[in-house]
Amino acid sequence: MSHPHPELATPPPLAPGGLRVVALGGLGEIGRNMTVFEHAGRLLVVDCGVLFPEDGQPGVDLILPDFSALEGRLHQIDALVLTHGHEDHIGGVPYLLRRRADIPLIGSPLTLALVRSKLTEHRITPVEVEVEAGAKRAFGLWELEFLAVNHSIPDALAVAIKSAAGLVLHTGDFKMDQLPLDGRLTDLAGFARLGAAGVDLLMADSTNAEVPGIVTSERAIGPVLSEVFAAAAQRIIVSCFASHVHRVQQVMDAAAQHGRKVALVGRSMVKNMGIARDLGYLKIPAVHGGLLVDLGEAEEMPPDQIVLISTGSQGEPMSALSRMAGRDHPIRIAEGDTVILASSLIPGNESAVFRIINDLTRLGARVVHRENALVHVSGHAPAGELLYVQNLVRPRNFIPVHGEWRHLKAHADLAALTGVPQRNIVIAEDGVVVDLIDGQISVAGQVPCGYIYVDGLSVGEVTEASLKDRLILGEEGFISVVVVVDSTSGKLVAGPEIHARGSGIDDAGLAEVRQLIEEALAGAAKEGISEVHQLRQLVRRAVGRWVSDNYRRRPMIIPVVVEA
């Protein structure tokens, strides 16, 4: 859940000529990035992503930004700018457009194509405005300039936002790979030009602010993959993000070099790579008979002639790789197979990923991952590159974005080292309102900003209390007690009928607690207690006390009192 700040009140109306900035997700966490800018009664939104659930959020599919701060103001949104096509930046778009379908979506060709695919599933036809790096467009009172940035997905953009309140540079996710696979460099000249003109507020990616140095080039991975392929005697399975076009390109190139066919595994992988290929971002190497085969063909081919590119690098329970590790997939991991995890670990997923590595190793596979080979480099700028950007832009004010609290703090410290005054640096969290007035930023208050859970088709219906109940059910089980009482006297007529699931209590124990329930109900009847709610509470206390005393457990107790 987000972190409330009881010391902060609801913000006052924005001062005339000022700019208000509030993140509805993405600060203090890795995911659900969404920032709202306000000026002169108009709004501009940058990104609308999702966060993926952790172990303590059972049954949850996705976590959305909290849109409640936009209630009654959706008509004021001039545009939604999408910096790139990763889920943590575009996954929430369908849920926002359900509320207002005609919000203009601004993004690069690949980003819009990936969003369009999502919106088709939600039966939403978006209003799209395609932009390229270097483009300048006006939307209402906002003047936007888009700059190329290098990231772990093609077509990523930074956005410069100019209004009467000042100039803001939002980097989006970026790094400064000097030898990118697609030749698309981060536009440092553009950053410097904006810096020379005067950037009033810089908002920059903080994910790797604790990592020293500069990023390793993506090109360094190609030779390592080739070595791993050369040493593999059986099947090769590569797991990576379904949006990592560059990594898939490298794997396909290595497969062609070593005479192997490629099959894509996982719905999102097949869909995204199809989009990337159609738009020309993914180039399938030309080999005799074609490089790509479907999964059915791959199952029948000799193991030393196939490479599978799969989803599941984060240990997602229903992903292809997780199912392979659990022997619940048509592809059966065998002795001598090679599995390559070509991705970074997203914080919170460590246990799930290590469990998969252990399961695959137990099945006889050789598992190659970032800790034992250079099979992945991050898409985010480390400290050396962040310092470079600070010195290039020389912002008057700074808000670190995209990261957990430790990342934001580390990035704020870097900004201070380059000369940004401490009073001009704000480490904000979700819901914290920051105003830029007369060239100076300050915290103005906070707006409600909790987690919005998606569970199946329900959005926002699962609450923190619901998750607490699910955790109790999963860890302690439940005991249900059904009794029938006389509607007038409250005396026991039938039962109690007791059922326990997952509580670790045997039938003999349940026979003992039955007598306690009968005694408690008899005592209530003598005192004239016949109200159903009171009787339910009485049964719950009797069973709960007995379970605690005898088993030191706290299962969920569900009393059902029926009047007759």
Are residues 78 and 124 located together in one domain of the fold?
Answer: yes
Are residues 199 and 262 located together in one domain of the fold?
Answer: no
Residue corresponding to tokens 């919005």: 452
Domain membership of residue 2 (yes or no) is no
In order of 113, 118, 258, 419, the CA distances from 77 in angstroms are 22, 21, 52, 35
CA–CA gap between residue 518 and residue 510 (Å, rounded): 13
Bond prior to 496 in cis (omega within 30° of 0): yes
Q: Identify the domain boundary among 368, 402, 426.
A: 368
Domain membership of residue 428 (yes or no) is yes
Q: In terms of C-beta density within 10 A (0-12 exposed, 13-18 middle, 19 or more buried), how is residue 437 classed?
A: middle
Q: Digits of tens for pLDDT over the chain (564 positions)?
A: 456 677 888 999 999 999 999 999 999 998 899 999 999 999 999 999 998 766 666 566 678 899 999 999 999 999 999 999 999 999 999 999 999 999 999 999 999 999 999 999 889 999 999 999 999 999 999 999 999 999 999 999 999 999 999 999 999 999 999 999 999 999 999 999 999 999 999 999 999 999 999 999 999 999 999 999 999 999 999 998 888 999 999 999 999 999 999 999 988 899 999 999 999 999 999 988 899 999 889 988 999 999 999 987 776 766 788 888 888 888 888 899 999 998 876 666 677 788 888 989 999 999 998 888 888 899 999 999 999 999 999 999 999 999 999 999 999 999 999 999 999 999 999 999 999 999 999 999 999 888 887 766 556 555 666 556 555 565 667 778 887 877 776 677 777 878 777 766 766 667 777 777 777 777 777 777 777 778 888 888 888 787 777 777 777 777 888 877
Task: Tell me the sheet residues that pair with 161.
Answer: 144, 168
Burial call 283-316: b when 16+ CB within 10 Å, e when fewer: eeeebeeebbbebeebeeeeeeebbbbbbbbbbb
pLDDT at position 473, please? 60
Domain membership of residue 291 (yes or no) is yes
Domain membership of residue 1 (yes or no) is no
Are residues 265 and 119 located together in one domain of the fold?
Answer: no
Are residues 99 and 193 located together in one domain of the fold?
Answer: yes
Are residues 425 and 483 located together in one domain of the fold?
Answer: no
83, amino acid identity: T
Domain membership of residue 6 (yes or no) is no
Domain that holds residue 105: 19-213+378-455
Task: Tell me the sheet residues that pair with 440.
Answer: 437
Are residues 472 and 494 located together in one domain of the fold?
Answer: yes
CA–CA gap between residue 479 and residue 544 (Å, rounded): 9
The H-or-E segment that residue 525 falls in is helix 507-526
Domain membership of residue 13 (yes or no) is no
Q: Identify the domain boundary among 368, 396, 423.
A: 368
Domain membership of residue 505 (yes or no) is yes
Are residues 124 and 244 located together in one domain of the fold?
Answer: no
Are residues 208 and 226 located together in one domain of the fold?
Answer: no
If one counts the domains in the chain, the total is 3
Q: Identify the domain boundary among 425, 455, 485.
A: 455
User: Longest C-alpha distance within the chain, in Å?
Assistant: 89
**CATH number for position 510:** 3.10.20.580
Are residues 97 and 168 located together in one domain of the fold?
Answer: yes
**CATH number for position 97:** 3.60.15.10
pTM for this one?
0.82
Are residues 178 and 297 located together in one domain of the fold?
Answer: no
pLDDT at position 309, please? 95
Domain membership of residue 59 (yes or no) is yes
Are residues 261 and 334 located together in one domain of the fold?
Answer: yes
Q: Which region, left, alpha or beta, applies to residue 26 given φ > 0 means left and ψ of -120 to 50 means alpha? A: left
> CB within 8 A of 337, min separation 6: which ones?
234, 235, 236, 237, 303, 363, 364, 365, 366
Residues 166 and 19 sit within 8 Å (Cβ to Cβ): yes
**CATH number for position 320:** 3.40.50.10710
Are residues 161 and 252 located together in one domain of the fold?
Answer: no
